Amino acid sequence: MNNFSSIDQNRLATAKQIWAASCHCSSLHASTPSERFGLNKVFHAILNKFYDDQDAKMTHGDVQNIFEHDVVPAHFVSLVRKPKASKKAKAKTAKPKAAKATQTVEEAIENIDSKKVIKPVAKVANNSVAKKMDKRIIALETKVSEVDSKLDAILAILQK
C-alpha cells in the first residue's frame, strides 16, 4: 500500500487525484448512484474552476484535505446548480369536432365517379450545381470554338 503521508504536500495533484477528489465529493453529496455519476462531472468542473479562479493549482495536500472531510466543503456545495426544469408544452384543449354527415353507398359511388382523374406531374428537381456546371461547359465550348476558328484562319494563311 502506498504511504501518502510521505509525499510532499506542495506537490501538484495529478489528474487522477483531482478526479478521485471529485468522486469523493460526489459520493458524499449524492443520494443515488445515478446522481453520483452526474455529480462526478460537476464536482470535477467545480474543483478545476475553483483553483483556476484563484490562479493556483490543486496540490497533494489539498486532495488529502478533501479526503479527510466527511461533508463536502460549503464553498464547493454553493457552486452546485440544479438543472432547470424543462418547459413543458401546455396541454391543448380538444375542440369538439363537428359531426360528419353520413353518406349512403350510392352517394359515395356518385362522388367517386364525378371526380376527375388527376394525372401525376413529373417534377424535375432543380440542381444548382448541375446548372453551374452546364454554364461552365457552355462557356468552355464557346471558347474552344473561337480558338478553332482562329486556328483555321492561321492555317489558311500559312497554306498560301
Q: What angle do CA 78, 83, 87 make, to 5 degrees?
A: 145
- Nine cell digits for residue 81: 446548480
Q: What is the mean pLDDT of the chain?
A: 79
**How far is it, in rounded angstroms, from Cα 67 to Cα 65?**
5
Q: What is the mean pLDDT of residues 16-35?
A: 86
Instruction: Quote the percentage of the chain above a pLDDT of 90.
Output: 13
Residue 2 lies in a domain: no
Note the pTM of the prediction, 2 decimals: 0.48
Residue 67 lies in a domain: yes
Question: Which among 49, 77, 105 is the end of a domain?
Answer: 77
Question: Which among 77, 97, 117 is the end of a domain?
Answer: 77
Residue 123 or residue 140, greater confidence: 140
Q: Are 13 and 58 in contact (CB under 8 A)?
A: yes
Q: Please count the structural domains in the chain.
A: 2
Q: Is the pLDDT of residue 43 over 80?
A: yes
Q: Are 46 and 76 in contact (CB under 8 A)?
A: yes
Residue 89 or residue 47, greater confidence: 47
**How far is it, in rounded angstroms, from Cα 21 to Cα 65?**
9
Residue given cell 475553483 in the structure block: 50
What is the pLDDT confidence band of residue 147, given thresholds at 50, 70 and 90?
very high
Per-residue confidence (pLDDT) for residue 142, from 0 to 100 = 92
Residue 21 or residue 104, greater confidence: 21
Question: Which among 54, 77, 100 is the end of a domain?
Answer: 77
Residue 82 lies in a domain: no
Q: Is the pLDDT of residue 85 over 70?
A: no
Range of the domain at 155: 128-160
Q: Is the pLDDT of residue 87 over 60?
A: yes
- Burial of 128 (C-beta count, 10 Å sphere; 0-12/13-18/19+): exposed
